[in-house]
Structure 1
Amino acid sequence: MSRAVNEADRAAEDLLRREAREARARLALPVALGVAQVAAGIAQALLFAMLVGALLGFGNAGWAELGLAAALAALSAGLGMAQERTLVAAGEAAKARLRRTAFARLLEEGPADPRPVGERAALVVDRIEALEGYLTRWLPSAVLAMAGPALVIGAALLADAPSGLILLVAGLLVPVIMAVTGIGAAQASRRQFEALGRLSGRFLDRMRGLPTLVLFRRQEAEAEALGQAAAELRARTMKVLRVAFLSSGAMELLAAGAIAMLAIRHAAQLGAGHPDPVAGIFCLLLVPAFFAPLRNFSMAYHEKLAARGAASELAPLLAPPAGPPGLILEEMPRKLVVTFQDVRLTYDPARPPALDGLSFRVMPGETLVLSGASGAGKSSVLRLLMGFRRPDSGRIALNGQDATALRPPELRRLSAYVGQRAHLFRGTLRENIRLARPEATDAEVEEAAEAAKVMAFARGLSQGLDTLVGEGGFGLSGGQAQRVAVARAFLRDAPLVLLDEPTAHLDPGTEGEVLESLRRLCSGRTAIVATHSRAAQRMLGRVLEIEQGRAAGARMAGE
């Protein structure tokens, strides 16, 4: 257990270091603005010391110093605003880049990723949001926590050496305080993110399955389980906040101690002929400028702890790919021969293999229908051909070449896929079809829609293919949505067609229409269809029976 935790911590640290290197160039300007703000604060403290000294009868500062102090105050405020804007821009750029990478990795893994949809959404949204604080708060504040106090201590040493030493000792105590208050904080933050992920994932998954829960009268039990998960998150969040308040209180106590030490030193001399009263007041006024970067550093320290907890979950997803990336196709083959030779695949060692020595061959222009009971291994064949899984043993060949030598995205380039339920996004029918090949022309989209019989119902809509449909295909029937999926496959025009129960949820009349479109789609291409449908088995091609991951027998279509 401890070994796994150590590996997760190392992976999280590696991720944070990589992101720090990526963000270094964007953070140079905010750090420079922060240093300029500290310098303006030192000059402002000197001018105020001169003005206060003049009021007490030490020196002759006047309106010029007051005007300059006001100008410096305005400059400091402007520098702070500029710094905040540059940090926000850097954070947004970093989050956008991380989300692009994370989303691309999730798309690459596809069905191979065992996490529920809710957990994946939490990874892309919440975990990456937590990394923003590390990049835009912790990294700049860590640099300014050294550069800012160093400037202030230098100014204090020039004015009064003992005062500079007092501030130096106070600064050296800050890491000690943070170490004491931060013991266990990283672990508490990690547990908080784990609780948040469980709650987010459970809530989204249960909302998606709400009709089923109501059907089986489990809504009250699930509501109680969600309440328990929310209570756990609340408790873990309060633990993290307790550490944050303790650290802030310790920092304020240290600042008060530094002011008290400086006040004791200079107050004793002011009443007995202080050699330089303005320098004494100046050293007292330097304390806020000295502790401002350290306070920011202390607050950002908890951003680091939160980021470390988030990074431990993001690291496996964002880690650089191990081993060679695989080959890229020089050109798209026009014909494909698919060969499975003694292929074995196991998802869980404790369960029987999904494929146990499966062998078959599909020639160009041939359609192979995989038949068998649920769990026999039909969908596993499609996952292997799309690169979402790698076989444990055996050989998968495309035109005689090892398919596993290709990058998984290259395998997916070779195929057009139609699943059980077509997912349509909010947009027009034309936009949903064009997802298969974004560079396609309007004429090509319309030709694909005609081939899939989408135009048969689109002509009756108010705006034809430019009619807007809702998320998930809202506004269309199941058969119409499936025809849009078939139109995508026509538009993709890939040499390999993969169909997974394409008519599972259709009535017999609609099934016949969709099967006719699928028959035209498979014509001239290599096609593999996983289905229970007797109509599909009779109409589409050669049938291969699969039992427990093995080929049990073959028959021709119509038999």
Structure 2
Amino acid sequence: MAEVRQRGDAASALLRREARAARGRLGLPLGLGLAQVILGIAQAWLIAGLIAKLLGYGAAGWPALGAVAALALVSAGLGVAQERALMATGEAAKARLRAAAFERLLAQGAEDNRGVGERAALVVDRIEALEGFLTRWLPAAALAMAAPVLVAGAAFTVDATSGAILLVAALLVPVAMAVTGIGAAQASKRQFAALDMLSGRFLDRMRGLPTLVLFRRQEAEAQALGVAAEDLRQRTMRVLRVAFLSSASMEALAAGAIACLAIRHGAVLGQNHPDPAGAIFCLLLVPALFTPLRAFSQAYHERSAANGAAAELAPLLATEPPGGLVLEEMPRKLVVSFQDVRLTYDPTRPPALDGVSFRAVPGETVVLAGASGAGKSSILRLLMGFRRPDSGRISLNGQDATQLTPAELRRLSSYVGQRAHLFRATIRENIALARPDATPAEVESAATAARVTDFAKALPEGLETLVGEGGFGLSGGQAQRVAIARAFLRDTPLVLLDEPTAHLDPGTEAEVLDSLRRLCTGRTAIVASHSRAAQRLGRVLEIAAGRVAGPRMAGE
């Protein structure tokens, strides 16, 4: 219960903070909304006069009809302007929130245990839900408080009893909303949790589809996804039921207000009513009263959805970026030293690193060899700032590496992993991702050094050839050379390679290794690899059970 209460408090704090941040931008759409309400009151007065004229009362004529038409056009224009202002407010809020969430995800890096689908849902779906809170719920709530006062005040000028009826009807709306909305926030949170689970599971299964087919598990997984989708459907319908109940209660209150006013002014068609036009005016004020209240009712589920989204986003946005020092300038050479470094991921399991010590100097390539799970990738994670050691010392040029911010630590290194991820863009753009401010000549130089131009010459548009998501259209070796070109373009003093020749055939592996040798020349390079060919790059350190088992010369 305490944890649930804390999550609720964090969600409320996030919503209040975002509401304050958006307050300045919401002033214009709120002013436009109030102007629409005032125009609606004026239209009701003019239309009441026209109807009274048709019934044989009053003296309204063509000028009044023209004024009604003009007011309708102005009101429509104000509505368009309000929508545009709200859209601009929402886009600004989403951009700010997505930048903050993405910054936190990048800062956490590999320490974040959430699946890719869940992270995508946080940055996309959760922030979309908060946009509804900011651009629909907040303006609707403000107008729902101000508009009834204006409408009831206009009715009071004609008939005090009618004004009181309208005011009471308006006051009953939040009561009905609260009664019908009990449990709406919890239902929305459960819906978001089910959506997270389904998104993450679907993405994970799609990525592992060949494995599922290989083990004949595709039918079972399809059924499991169907069960999860059905659960999400049921939870979504529960949320929608709340929205329909809110709408029904709103219509009931509107009908009740009209009935009360009709009874009050029942003699409107008779000869004894003192102000027939005023009676009709009071009846026509009901739509003007309930239009902002209907918007408030329709936006009520936006608030519930925002509470659920904020409960998921608040822990991420509350995470402060890790502090640390920033380098004044990039060092040209780097000496890496591990001294009795220990790292544990799970206290119930043996340590990933148990007293690792080694030293790598500029111009040297250190190859970490050993079985899977020995601790090779953990060493690279520490050097990239994705983890901090439990004990021991990692020094760079004699200075404690943990004093640097993780982002600054990553700025010192270039990384090439097992599989190069290429984005849907040209080959040139994929290379320039490593350093967006690089000149075209620098990009081409990096491509030449990594031997990307060797295969790009045969492509229809060379480096301008568009490749698909994940490198679709290029072979594994070609994609890996693009990743090496990125490392050349970064031109950092430290090079980190994690199984860079995995999944490559011997011929392609030899070509990639040739590019890697040029990349490592003059730099401090640390390579984690099972490959015997890759182990010829430099001095080999045997890693076993998180310890350095012993060095051996390259090629042994």
TM-score range (shorter-chain normalised) is over 0.9
Range with greater deviation from structure 2 (510-519 or 40-49): 510-519
Q: Is the 8 A contact 2:268 2:279 kept in 1?
A: no
1:15-43 residue CA offsets vs partner (Å, 9 max, x unmatched): 22222222222222111111000000001
75 and 288 in structure 1: CA distance in 2 versus 1, 3 angstrom threshold: same
Contact 2:352 2:375 in 1 (8 A): yes
| Aligned residue in 2 for 1:540 | 537
CA distance in 1, matches of 2:199, 2:167: 46
The one of 354, 369, 372 aligned to 1:371: 369
Q: CA contact under 8 A between 2:412 and 2:494: conserved in structure 1?
A: yes
Q: For the residues of structure 1 that align with 2:61 and 2:393, how far apart are their CA atoms?
A: 89
Which residue, out of 458, 461, 467, partners 1:460?
458
Q: Which residue number corresponds to residue 304 of structure 1?
A: 303
Match of 1:53 in 2: 52
Cα distance in 2 between the residues matched to 1:524 and 1:436: 20
How many angstroms does 1:268 deviate by? 5.1
> What amino acid is the match of 1:490?
F
Question: What are the Cα deviations for residues 156-195 of structure 1, in whole angstroms up to 9, with x where unaligned?
Answer: 1222112111222122211111111111000001111111
> What is the CA deviation profile of residues 515-543 of structure 1, one whole-angstrom value per residue up to 9, with x for unaligned ones?
22212211211111111112222x22222
Structure 1 position 14 matched with structure 2 position 10: no
CA distance in 2 between partners of 1:172 and 1:215 (Å): 63
Greater shift in the superposed pair: 243-252 or 21-30: 21-30
Q: C-alpha distance in 2, partners of 1:63/1:441? A: 70
Shift of 1:315: 1.9
Instruction: Give the CA deviation at 1:270.
Output: 6.7
The correspondence for 1:362, drawn from 356, 360, 363, is 360
**Are residues 1:195 and 2:194 paired?**
yes
**Could you tell me whether the CA contact under 8 Å between 2:140 and 2:295 is conserved in 1?**
yes
Count residues in correspondence.
556
Tell me which residue corresponds to 2:234. 235
Q: Distance in 1 between matches of 2:29 and 2:403?
A: 46
- Mapped pair 1:383 → 2:366: no
* 1:472 alignment partner AA: G
Equivalent residue letter for 1:535: A
What is the rounded CA distance, in whole Å, between the counterparts of 1:403 and 1:178 in structure 2?
56
SS of the equivalent of 1:343 reads: strand
Q: Deviations over 1:438-462 (max 9, x none)?
A: 1112222222222222222223333
Pairwise CA RMSD of aligned residues?
1.8
**Equivalent residue of 1:394, what SS?**
strand
Aligned equivalent of 2:549 = 552
Match of 1:392 among 390, 394, 399: 390
Cα distance change of structure 1 residues 159 and 325 upon mapping to structure 2, 3 Å threshold: farther
Q: Partners in 2 of 1:427 and 1:80 — Cα distance? A: 40
Deviation, structure 1 residue 272:
7.3
Residue 207 of structure 1 pairs with residue 210 of structure 2:
no
2:149 aligned with 1:150: yes
Q: More deviation in 140-149 or 113-122? A: 113-122
Identical positions, percent:
76
How far residue 278 of structure 1 moved from its aligned partner, in angstroms, is 2.2
Question: Does the residue aligned with 2:420 lie in a helix, a strand or coil?
Answer: coil
The residue aligned with 2:83 is 84
User: In structure 2, how many angstroms separate the alpha carbons of the residues matched to 1:215 and 1:269?
Assistant: 80
Q: How does 1:449-528 map to 2 (within 5 A)?
A: 449-528=447-526
* Separation in structure 2 between the aligned mates of residue 200 and residue 469 of structure 1, nearest angstrom: 26
What is the match of residue 420 of structure 2? 422
Task: Note the 1:242-257 alignment, pairs <5 A.
Answer: 242-257=241-256
- Whole-Å Cα distance in 1 between the matches of residues 300 and 341 of structure 2? 52
- Give the superposition deviation at 1:332: 0.6
- State TM-score, norm by structure 2: 0.96
Deviates more, 1:344-353 or 1:150-159: 344-353
- The within-5 A match list for 1:290-329 is 290-319=289-318, 321=320, 325-329=323-327
In structure 1, which of residues 397, 400, 403 is the aligned counterpart of residue 401 of structure 2?
403
Shift, 1:422, TM fit = 0.9
- CA deviation profile, 1:408-453 (whole Å, cap 9, x unmatched): 1111110000000111122222222111111112222222222222
Q: Deviations over 1:73-114 (max 9, x none)?
A: 222222122212222232233223333333333333332221
Kindly state the Cα deviation for residue 45 of structure 1 after the two structures are TM-superposed: 0.8
* Structure 2 residues not aligned, in runs of 5+: none
Structure 2 equivalent of residue 225 of structure 1: 224
Aligned with 2:299: secondary structure?
helix
Query: Which residue number in structure 2 is paired with residue 216 of structure 1?
Result: 215
The structural deviation recorded for 1:358 is: 1.9
Q: Using the TM superposition, give the Cα deviation of residue 289 of structure 1 relative to its aligned residue in structure 2, in angstroms.
A: 0.6
Cα distance between partner residues in 1 of 2:455 and 2:240: 58
> Is 1:118 matched up with 2:117?
yes
Q: Using the alignment, how far apart are the partners of 1:389 and 1:22 within structure 2?
A: 33
Q: What does residue 446 of structure 1 align with?
A: 444
Indicate the residue corresponding to 2:105 in structure 1.
106
Identify unmatched segments of 5+ residues in structure 1: none
Q: Secondary structure at the match of 1:359?
A: strand
